[in-house]
Amino acid sequence: MGSYDVIVIGGGPGGYVAAERLGAAKKRVLLIEKAALGGTCLNVGCIPTKTLLNSAKLYAHALEGGKFGVRAQGVSYDWAAMQAWKREVVEKLRGGVAATEKKLGVEVVEAEARLIGPGKVEARDRGGAATVHDAGAVIVATGSVPAAPPIPGARDNPKVVDSTGILELAEVPKRLCVIGGGVIGVEFAGLFSALGSKVEVIEMMDEIIPFMDEEQAPILRRAMKDVAFRLGCKVESIEGATVRYSAKDGSKAAAEADLVLMAVGRRPLVDGWGAKEAGLDHSPKGVVVDERMRTNLPGVWAVGDATGRSLLAHSAYRMADVAAAGILAGGGATRAANVMRWSQGDQLQSIPRALVSGANVMRYGAVPWVVYGLTEAAGVGMTEKDARAAGLDVRKASLPLRVSGRFCAESGFAAPGAVKVLADRATDRILGVHVVGAYASEMIWGAAALVEEEMRVSDVKEIIFPHPTVCEAIRDAVFEL
């Protein structure tokens, strides 16, 4: 048995960042990870997908360079080389995480962890040997897994893969059917269509990326010209690589493909590691936590996808900061009795900043999101629909990104792109910022700061944006309000 200040279950973004913060504070930390440091994001999620997407972008830009005065002959891509580069990136970044943990004195153990109760965690290695460790605090960071809906013909079908399996393909499929028009489905659709696959996306909702602003989502969809979208359609069954679906009017159709990607989202991993047996308050939607990431068990915190609150790596980073700060502060170690049972559907609920000034708590109202691809999309804060549903009198301004000289110079005058800014008429406060187009992922952090700090339109007008940049379009939109 080993004794520690803190035991962290799971080495993904939430787990390894929490371990780093606590290690930096000279706490004795044990990090237990059953697979590879970095979790889903680094190994089979964010990093490998963006690496492949970048290769696809380079290929597409090479094909289209003629209009910018750059011509190349015999342009082609090498899928095996793309996969090799992806593996190199993942392995080096994983090594970087390991080096940081070691530098900060964090002990990392490769084992399967089980929460026995407050302050006690069992670690079982690959050989089956189990060791029970104790600690003053435990952080649960078990992550999430791909959702698997009970579609007839999907289970044990070699022609059906999830977001992990599709990253290891030996070759690019000629025809790909994607079930799900959310972030994962759209990103993979964009990747493979850029490489020449015939891609068809089947989405049950009436528009892709359901949480996007209703005026922005169609811009992103139309930008993906080589992808066929079947919206408002329900998948009925899968036979080999043939996906049978029905439309809202009752008509039936089938998508013929060589491979099917099941991309209907992810679910918190709340089973298989002792949550129920330990008495941890949880549901299929995640481990129940308060704004300080505390659970109902004394000395047990939970962060990241396991909470079901916001299944994003950067949300996990912030949750890790909050949990670590709570442990270091030595305050109350048990969740408040009247905690809201948060679920994924409540993501826009957030504690007003004025009520938590100076406190290290998790707020969700300014968590940015990004859809990566040849055309990017990003947003933060409320959509217009959200704001009106909340009873707010909304002011809005939308502008095409071609108001930016840099956007036109680098993307062309016909490239898709738009920015939309929302404000509350009564208070002048910025409610949300939404962008489709080049560099959306790199400018949304600034918009997040505007929303997080509850800045007013008049405040933003005083900020100097560098020129020429694409982010200037946000400033221009603010002046339109």
CATH architecture assigned to 369-480: 2-Layer Sandwich (3.30)
The span from the CA of 447 to the CA of 455, in Å, is: 10
SS3 (DSSP) at 46: helix
- Predicted confidence at residue 347, as pLDDT, reads 40
Structure tokens at 395: 């002011």
CA quadruple 102, 104, 107, 111: dihedral positive or negative?
A: negative
pLDDT of residue 409: 97
Produce one character per residue of 25-42: b if its CB has 16 or more CB atoms within 10 Å, e if not.
eebbbbbbbbebbbbbbb
Q: Is 467 a catalytic residue?
A: yes
DSSP letter at 466 equals P
Return the closest-CA partner of residue 235 out of 184, 201, 199. 201
Give the pLDDT of residue 344: 35
CATH number of this structure's domain 160-264: 3.50.50.60
Task: Identify whether the C-beta of residue 30 lies closer than 8 Å to the C-beta of residue 133.
Answer: yes
Q: How far apart are CA 121 and CA 1, in angstroms?
A: 10
pLDDT of residue 342: 39
Q: Which of 61, 133, 282, 467 is catalytic?
A: 467
Per-residue pLDDT for 352 more than 90?
Answer: no
Residues above pLDDT 70, as percent of the chain: 94
Q: What are the residues whose beta carbons fall under 8 Å from the beta carbon of 350, sequence distance 6 or more?
A: 363, 364, 365, 366
Give the chain's radius of gyration (CA, Å).
23
H helices present in 36-78, as ranges: 39-44, 46-64
Equal CATH topology for 3-45+83-145+267-342 and 160-264: yes
Give the pLDDT mean for 162-189. 98
Task: Tell me the CATH number of domain 3-45+83-145+267-342, given options 3.50.50.60, 3.60.15.10, 3.90.25.10, 1.10.1740.10.
Answer: 3.50.50.60
Domains of the chain by residue range: 3-45+83-145+267-342, 160-264, 369-480
The stretch 302-309 carries a mean pLDDT of: 98
pLDDT confidence tier of residue 7, bands split at 50, 70 and 90 = very high
Among candidates 424, 429, 353, 339, which has minimal Cα distance to 388?
424
Instruction: Supply the pTM of this predicted model.
Output: 0.94
How confident is the model at residue 436, as a pLDDT? 98
Q: What confidence score (pLDDT) does residue 69 get?
A: 96
Q: How confident is the model at residue 346 (pLDDT cuts 50, 70, 90)?
A: very low
pLDDT tens, 374-432? 999 999 999 999 999 999 999 999 999 999 999 999 999 999 999 999 999 999 999 99
Average pLDDT, the chain: 94
Express each pLDDT in 85-143 by its tens digit. Answer: 999 999 999 999 999 999 999 999 999 999 999 999 999 999 999 999 999 999 999 99
Q: How far apart are CA 378 and CA 394, in angstroms?
A: 20
309 DSSP assignment: S
Decide if pLDDT at 339 tops 90. no
Helix axes 46-64, 183-194, angle to 10 degrees: 40
Provide the phi-psi class of 66: left if phi over 0, else alpha when psi is between -120 and 50, else beta: alpha
- The per-residue pLDDT for 359 is 67
Tokens coding 465: 């944006």
